[in-house]
Chain A
Amino acid sequence: GAGVSQSPSNKVTEKGKDVELRCDPISGHTALYWYRQSLGQGLEFLIYFQGNSAPDKSGLPSDRFSAERTGGSVSTLTIQRTQQEDSAVYLCASSGGDSYNEQFFGPGTRLTVL
């Protein structure tokens, strides 16, 4: 079946502009995660959605970052007034929602802020 998809694959923007990154999880997966991976670095947790529960936003680095998940499926990560330090690969993952479930990652969106 189809895996996790993300769009766009690459995004180049100017400092100060807003960007929206999209994630389509695996159908039926109740949990969805956003991570940020800077060049050569690890996976930094940003936000986590589980079913209809309030999202865990504890990893969002500033109030310029927000995310939504509509209808329990597609998610959008929005970065307002982008800064150069926001440049990174943004990875989305989904899982079945049960304990210990494998997280399946999307291909990522490479964001470059000029």
Chain B
Amino acid sequence: GENVEQHPSTLSVQEGDSAVIKCTYSDSASNYFPWYKQELGKRPQLIIDIRSNVGEKKDQRIAVTLNKTAKHFSLHITETQPEDSAVYFCAASDSGGYNKLIFGAGTRLAVHP
């Protein structure tokens, strides 16, 4: 089955800086890679996703890149703001399960004013 590694586990940046979170996956058949944001005490929410036929996707200050050959994908947040502080989870679809996702361990991002 799929295995997803995520790093760093914690990330601290100054407001306005960029933040990058990286994930690797093991199953070359995985074809869907979403990112979820979980604010303290709240439920995870999808912020951006990418499919295997696309190398990069952007949505305002957030972008995701995918390298299928190397089996890794990354989340990029530019011009970080304090409200970006949260735990971010990457995930990869499991080829053995229809629409099943395997999540990384999460990255706790702190944006300091």
Contacts and interface: CB of A to CB of B under 8 A. Distances in A.
Contacts of B104: 42
A31 B106 CA distance: 24
Nearest to B99: A31
What interface size band does chain B fall in? 20 to 34
Contact of A91 (B43, B93, B98): B43
Contacts of A98: 99
Contacts of B49: 100, 102
A50 B44 contact: no
Given A42-B105, A100-B49, A102-B49, A48 B89 contact: no
A58 B52 CA distance: 25
B103 A42 contact: yes
Contacts of A33: 100-101
B97 A48 contact: yes
A59 to B, nearest CB: 9
5 contacts: A31-B98, A31-B99, A42-B103, A45-B102, A98-B99
Interface of B: 1, 6, 32, 34, 42-46, 49, 51, 89, 93, 97-106
